[in-house]
Chain A
Amino acid sequence: MPIARLKMYRSIANRSLQNVLAYRNSYVINFLAGTINLLAIYFLWKGIYSGRTEVGGYTWDQMKTYLLITYLANSVLSWYSETAISGKILDGSVAVDLLKPIDFQSARFAETLGSSLFEGAQSLILITVFALCITGIAFPGSAHVYVLFIISLLGAVLVKFGIVYLAALVCFWSTGSMGIVWTRIALTNLLSGALVPLVFFPDWLERLALMLPFQSIIHTPTMIFLEQAGTWESLRLIGLQWFWGILLWLAGKAMWSWAVRQVTIHGG
């Protein structure tokens, strides 16, 4: 039975990948929009660093690396899952999903993984092009850092899915998703370190951010890639990612079973 289940989720993931490929035009444009943003931020930071060797403990080379890693971690699991889950709830097709003998949350996670493959590959290409054009990217020296980094990226996807899923379920109580999506993006960008490294924050905000799950998405992978965390510290951070990932997963489950009852009250 478990193997049959796994197969089922694999085919869901596969279907979602094909879906992304079928609508690749909008992905390419989304991708270009991301590139514009990356360019703007890159030149802004370049201006910030002109005439300075380090800002907030980061050298310019480290900051360049930070920007690229942030871009990678942010683009894996981006637009697709965000709109796919809330879309199902808003247009009512979630009713059909309720009839299927599949766990809604796991199915959505499988879908997310499928599209993440495409989105991740896409941003890897962009980052490689970028890294070839600019010099001074700080690549880590030893192989085990890469292994830890990839594990932390997976952890980041898990945590981000948890947050996105919870945000999407809020759509049971609203009629549109844009506001919720924007709020989610704004909060995540600020508290994960996507905007600026967390050490740039004033003390209280940095401490607050470190206590919340958001930091697992950007802060953890960048710390590991820039070798600002030693091996043990990295393992601790990854453990923390899994802690948050599982906690958010359970929270999503609880919220789902509560939300579904709301749907029945409305009469479908």
Chain B
Amino acid sequence: MSLGRMFYLYRRLYVQQLKAILEYNKDFYILMCSAALTQVLGFIFLWVIYDRIPDINGWQFWEVTFMYAMIFLTEGVASLFFEGTWRMSRLVNFGEMDRYLLRPVPVVLQVFCTGIGINGLGNLLIGGVIVWQSLARGHVDWTAGKAAVVVLLLVTAVIIRVAINLAGNSAAFWIRNAGNAFPLMVHNLADLAKYPITLFPQAIRILISTVLPYAFISFFPATYIFGKSEWSGWWMLAPVAAAGMALASYGIFRFGLSRYESTGN
């Protein structure tokens, strides 16, 4: 199936979900605002702290807010456009995956379009504003090349985020109960990447730069953008991490799908 066709199908499926969501518009606003509020809160936290101290381990205020907001920004994109991964345990446990398997459309594409997390819009907006402010105020020496790399790092960050979500939620194929909180735990580990990873012990640093490469969403891009010389060059691994994570998570998903055996009735 060509990429253009996939994109077309994705758009059609997505618009259908959007119609459903807009039916309940009171919820729509509440969710959006609450997501934004949660994020502003973390910002206030950093602001209150930096009001008293000039730096944390050599990291300035706008450098840390960049990392913090990148985690939220990518989460926003993931829940706005790929929320379906979070419905996977439902799809598997209720046997709804049957329907998807019968259609001549890639299953993973259909899974992505199983829902829309409108809270993502709040995260995306506020995250975007904070990232933009951090870049504008954080003493960055801009060149055309740097801008291009920053765009590339944003794209890889989103890929990493979505891939980790897909991999984590694929646990539904193995853990067959409705209250499966494993994906949530994987998701929560992103909390560790909101701050410079140099704060953490070696084991945690390695975990969030390899198996769950959250650090390539926030920390490594920050080292490049704000010119931290001791980490120079590390950002180049971000596309590698994105490609690796995407392949791995698709592999896990396919493997899980091959074990899928529908429900009894």
Residues of chain A touching chain B, judged by Cβ–Cβ distance below 8 Å, are 23, 25-26, 29-30, 32-33, 36-37, 39-40, 43-44, 46-48, 50, 52, 55-56, 173-176, 178-183, 185-187, 189-190, 195-196, 200-202
Residues of chain B touching chain A, judged by Cβ–Cβ distance below 8 Å, are 24, 26-27, 30-35, 37-38, 41, 44-45, 48-49, 51-53, 56-57, 119, 177, 179-182, 184-185, 188-189, 191-192, 194-196, 198-201, 204
Bound: A39/B192 CA distance, A: 8
What is the total of A-B residue contacts with beta carbons within 8 Å?
111
Main secondary structure of the interface of B (DSSP, over half): helix
Bound: A32/B37 CA distance, A: 25
Bound: A220/B33 CA distance, A: 29
Instruction: Assess whether A47 is in contact with B184, with CB atoms less than 8 Å apart.
Output: no
Q: A195's contact among B24, B31, B41, B191, by CB below 8 Å, is which?
A: B41
19 further A-B contacts with Cβ under 8 Å, apart from A37-B188, A176-B31, are: A25-B179, A29-B181, A32-B185, A33-B181, A33-B185, A33-B188, A40-B192, A40-B194, A43-B195, A48-B56, A55-B53, A174-B30, A178-B31, A178-B119, A179-B31, A179-B34, A190-B41, A195-B44, A196-B48
Q: B57's contact among A32, A50, A55, by CB below 8 Å, is which?
A: A50
When distances are taken between beta carbons in the complex, the residues of chain A under 8 Å from B201 are 43
Instruction: Assess whether B191 is in contact with A40, with CB atoms less than 8 Å apart.
Output: yes
Bound: A39/B199 CA distance, A: 11
Residue of A nearest to B194 (CB): A40
Instruction: Assess whether A182 is in contact with B35, with CB atoms less than 8 Å apart.
Output: yes
* 21 pairs of residues in contact across A and B, judged by CB atoms under 8 Å: A23-B179, A25-B179, A29-B182, A30-B181, A36-B192, A39-B192, A43-B201, A47-B57, A47-B198, A176-B24, A176-B30, A179-B35, A182-B31, A182-B37, A183-B37, A186-B37, A195-B41, A195-B44, A196-B49, A202-B48, A202-B51
Instruction: Assess whether A186 is in contact with B192, with CB atoms less than 8 Å apart.
Output: no
Q: A36's contact among B34, B52, B189, B196, by CB below 8 Å, is which?
A: B189
- Given A26-B181, A176-B24: A196 in contact with B33 (beta carbons within 8 A): no
When distances are taken between beta carbons in the complex, the residues of chain A under 8 Å from B182 are 29
Instruction: Assess whether A29 is in contact with B184, with CB atoms less than 8 Å apart.
Output: yes
The 6 tightest CB contacts between A and B, nearest first, are: A179-B30, A29-B181, A182-B34, A179-B31, A47-B199, A26-B179
When distances are taken between beta carbons in the complex, the residues of chain A under 8 Å from B194 are 40
Bound: A146/B34 CA distance, A: 37
Instruction: Assess whether B48 is in contact with A201, with CB atoms less than 8 Å apart.
Output: yes
Bound: A179/B180 CA distance, A: 21
When distances are taken between beta carbons in the complex, the residues of chain A under 8 Å from B199 are 43-44, 46-47
